[in-house]
Chain A
Amino acid sequence: MKRLLSLIIAISLAGLATAGKARELTGAGATFPYPLYSKWFDIYHNETGIKVNYQAIGSGGGIRQLLNKTVDFGGTDAFMSEEELTKSPENPILHFPTCIGAVVITYNLPGSPALKLTPEVISSIFLGKIRKWDHPDIKRTNPGIELPSLPIVVVHRSDGSGTTFVFSDYLSKVSPEWRDKVGRGKSLRWPVGLGAKGNPGVAALVKQIKGAIGYVELAYAEKNSLPYASIRNRAGNFIKPTLKSISLAADVPLPPDTRVSITDTKSPQGYPIASFTWIIFYKEQNYKNRSYERAKEMLQLFWWMIHQAQQYNESLLYGRLPQTAVRTAEKILKSATYRGKPILR
């Protein structure tokens, strides 16, 4: 027993010693991009020997851990609000986008028809105003599809989530009534419906209940072959969510800090319920005894993420950053400093 114990201690000490030597960066935050990040960081580890440890604890946790300075960077699905940014007044927090995700409307109807939905219909359904599938407003945009006289059962996320944030952000833009009654957030006061945990929970309830409608991430719907709706965008076109159309949604002029919502996009072929997901980090990297090397390694990783790494996005069903977004992100990365001097040149 004693020998075993000392063996365990010896092994863990050896582990500690190598961990000290190995180049390792830590991040925490959003769960949505986690599959992509873990693939990226795996490839990056093979190419450079730098290990990146990303914990998918949720965007809120990522923001908290960055503010507590326990991680090198955070990941978030919803950009930090002005109020949250004021929590670090002396050292501003920067955002840059890494990929694009989308929220799709999925449903359980006989024959799984490909529905076309307008923003008005979607908001009315989730507000509880349209309660049956054969409502004239739904019929109007779906000629040729036989809609049953089933009650609509709304299914939403019960856990706080970036998916809910993006969806409610979209509804707040297209429906003043939604904006005033419900608003946008990771958790909401839902007027109607059932809550289920995670994309799998929502998908399971929608599959079980005839006449159910819910929203899930595009990648999840695609992997599980769920039916989803085309949605009319601002230009008046019904757009099917595809990797191309969600990437096009981001192809709009961006503000310099990239903290922008791209839902209800002006892009004529863009899918209207798409969003960036971001990495967040401190502009001045000389804090809490961080070394210059560490800061530089991190910025080089970020540079790789917005360039070479983008080729892996689509195979994992994440949208690629359009060129405008890459250019803006480059500027942000170049603005990071160590003792006031830029790190990347």
Chain B
Amino acid sequence: MKRRTPFFLSLLIAALIVVGVLLASFFSITVSSLPALKKFGLDFFLGKQWDPPAKVFGALPFLIGTLITSFLALLFSLPFSLSISILLGEYLKKGRLASLLKSLVDLIAAVPSVIYGFWGLQVLVPWMREFEMKIGVSPYGVGILTASFILSVMIIPNTASIAREVLELVPADLKEAAYSLGATRYEVIKRVSIPYAKSGILAGVLLSLGRALGETMAVTMVIGNSNVIPRDIFSPANTMASVIANEFTEATGNLYYSSLIAIGFFLFLITAVFSILGRHIIKRSSLK
């Protein structure tokens, strides 16, 4: 092979090390989670009790907490992320305002999540508390709804930037053809650009869902950390990532330790599926 230069080999080795680290960590997580999965079986995912002193570990409350916060966050963020992507992909393609907007949106993704958590705790939580007092639910301030709001801000750039890129990929001749038939700009966006970029936008949504599922720090700070199944969206809850962050350092006893790792294993699988699915859709749509 001609490509076997030292440079090529060093690149290959670096790449293989990265893959090796991923596989090795997946392997060790799998092995360490086996004791819990063996002991509880399917009940590990369906069990409602998470009771460390009694050594009963059921992860359903965290599964529910994770899914509700992530999907609510997605729901809250979609109107904004889609608007930004259409604005930047269709209307403001060039110019100072466009580049300013673009870099500001990207900045949202670059802010460390602990900052969002901090802001949430100091600013959003007191607001939520007042709001909750007005509508007459328990005025905790922290809880599922607060966590979802914070998460929705954090995932806006993920959807927005991918959706913008796929919108920019819509062929100009398709759009011009529509214009020549007398379509307005709004009609072109609605009937040509969005249908064409649909799968790419979906991919962006899936990727941001992956981010929301795994987000730990900010969520832990504002979700209220209660290990029971939430009654409503104002209730405190816990997510898979936040329970690991909370309890891992002091988890003594094999079964407890293993149960936390098993949650990590499951979280790893879920986020991997969403991420692979998202990338697969992007690949397919850009080949079209």
Chain A interface (Cβ < 8 Å from any Cβ of B): 57-61, 63-64, 81, 83-84, 151, 153, 158-162, 168, 182-190, 193-197, 201, 204-205, 208-209
Contact A190:B53 (CB < 8 A) given known A57-B249, A159-B250, A160-B250 = no
Say which residue of A63, A182, A209 sits within 8 Å of B129 (CB atoms).
A209
* B29-67 CB contacts (< 8 Å) to partner A: 49-54
Say which residue of B139, B226, B245, B246 sits within 8 Å of A193 (CB atoms).
B226
Residue of B nearest to A193 (CB): B226
Say which residue of B126, B140, B227 sits within 8 Å of A153 (CB atoms).
B140
Q: Is B225 an interface residue (CB 8 A)?
A: yes
In the complex, are the beta carbons of B53 and A184 less than 8 A apart?
Answer: yes
Sample of 19 more A-B contacts, CB < 8 Å, known A57-B249, A194-B142: A60-B251, A63-B252, A159-B246, A183-B54, A185-B52, A187-B250, A189-B49, A189-B54, A190-B226, A190-B227, A193-B236, A194-B224, A195-B227, A195-B236, A195-B246, A201-B221, A204-B121, A205-B142, A209-B140
Say which residue of B51, B141, B236, B252 sits within 8 Å of A186 (CB atoms).
B252
CB-CB nearest 9 A-B residue pairs: A195-B225, A160-B250, A158-B225, A58-B249, A183-B53, A185-B53, A189-B51, A60-B250, A186-B250
In the complex, are the beta carbons of A194 and B226 less than 8 A apart?
Answer: yes
Say which residue of A57, A188, A193 sits within 8 Å of B52 (CB atoms).
A188
In the bound complex, what is the Cα–Cα distance between A54 and B248 (angstroms)? 20
In the bound complex, what is the Cα–Cα distance between A160 and B52 (angstroms)? 10
17 contacts between A and B (CB under 8 A): A63-B252, A84-B252, A84-B253, A159-B249, A160-B248, A160-B249, A183-B51, A183-B53, A183-B54, A186-B247, A187-B250, A188-B51, A188-B53, A189-B50, A195-B246, A197-B220, A197-B246
In the bound complex, what is the Cα–Cα distance between A64 and B50 (angstroms)? 22
Q: Is B125 an interface residue (CB 8 A)?
A: yes
Output the least CB separation between A313 and chain B (Å): 24
In the complex, are the beta carbons of A160 and B236 less than 8 A apart?
Answer: no
In the bound complex, what is the Cα–Cα distance between A57 and B242 (angstroms)? 18
In the bound complex, what is the Cα–Cα distance between A127 and B34 (angstroms)? 34
In the bound complex, what is the Cα–Cα distance between A189 and B245 (angstroms)? 17
In the bound complex, what is the Cα–Cα distance between A16 and B242 (angstroms)? 38
CB contacts (< 8 Å) of B221 on chain A: these are 197, 201
CB contacts (< 8 Å) of B225 on chain A: these are 158, 194-197
CB-defined interface of B130-169 with A at 8 Å, one 1/0 digit per residue?
A: 0000000011111000000000000000000000000000
In the bound complex, what is the Cα–Cα distance between A205 and B224 (angstroms)? 10
Contact A187:B247 (CB < 8 A) given known A153-B140, A209-B141 = yes
CB contacts (< 8 Å) of A60 on chain B: these are 249-252
In the bound complex, what is the Cα–Cα distance between A159 and B217 (angstroms)? 13
In the bound complex, what is the Cα–Cα distance between A185 and B51 (angstroms)? 9
Q: Which of B54, B129, B224, B249 has the most CB of A within 10 A?
A: B249
Output the least CB separation between A76 and chain B (Å): 9
In the complex, are the beta carbons of B126 and A208 less than 8 A apart?
Answer: yes
CB contacts (< 8 Å) of B138 on chain A: these are 151, 153
In the bound complex, what is the Cα–Cα distance between A158 and B219 (angstroms)? 13
In the bound complex, what is the Cα–Cα distance between A63 and B236 (angstroms)? 31
In the complex, are the beta carbons of B251 and A195 less than 8 A apart?
Answer: no
In the complex, are the beta carbons of B227 and A189 less than 8 A apart?
Answer: yes
In the complex, are the beta carbons of A58 and B250 less than 8 A apart?
Answer: yes
CB-defined interface of B96-132 with A at 8 Å, one 1/0 digit per residue?
A: 0000000000000000000000000100011001000
Say which residue of A58, A84, A208 sits within 8 Å of B125 (CB atoms).
A208
Contact A161:B250 (CB < 8 A) given known A205-B142, A209-B139 = yes
Output the least CB separation between A196 and chain B (Å): 7
CB contacts (< 8 Å) of A168 on chain B: these are 53
In the bound complex, what is the Cα–Cα distance between A195 and B227 (angstroms)? 9
In the complex, are the beta carbons of B247 and A159 less than 8 A apart?
Answer: yes
In the bound complex, what is the Cα–Cα distance between A188 and B54 (angstroms)? 9
In the complex, are the beta carbons of B52 and A187 less than 8 A apart?
Answer: yes
CB-defined interface of B260-281 with A at 8 Å, one 1/0 digit per residue?
A: 0000000000000000000000
In the complex, are the beta carbons of B246 and A158 less than 8 A apart?
Answer: yes
* B187-237 CB contacts (< 8 Å) to partner A: 220-221, 224-228, 236
Residue of A nearest to B54 (CB): A183
In the bound complex, what is the Cα–Cα distance between A91 and B228 (angstroms)? 41
CB contacts (< 8 Å) of A185 on chain B: these are 52-53
In the bound complex, what is the Cα–Cα distance between A197 and B219 (angstroms)? 12
Say which residue of B51, B139, B224, B249 sits within 8 Å of A195 (CB atoms).
B224
CB contacts (< 8 Å) of A209 on chain B: these are 129, 139-141
In the complex, are the beta carbons of A194 and B236 less than 8 A apart?
Answer: yes
In the bound complex, what is the Cα–Cα distance between A158 and B245 (angstroms)? 10
Residue of B nearest to A78 (CB): B252
In the bound complex, what is the Cα–Cα distance between A158 and B226 (angstroms)? 8
Output the least CB separation between B140 and chain A (Å): 6
Contact A186:B52 (CB < 8 A) given known A159-B246, A161-B250 = yes
In the bound complex, what is the Cα–Cα distance between A317 and B139 (angstroms)? 34
In the bound complex, what is the Cα–Cα distance between A204 and B247 (angstroms)? 20
Contact A61:B249 (CB < 8 A) given known A153-B140, A183-B54 = yes
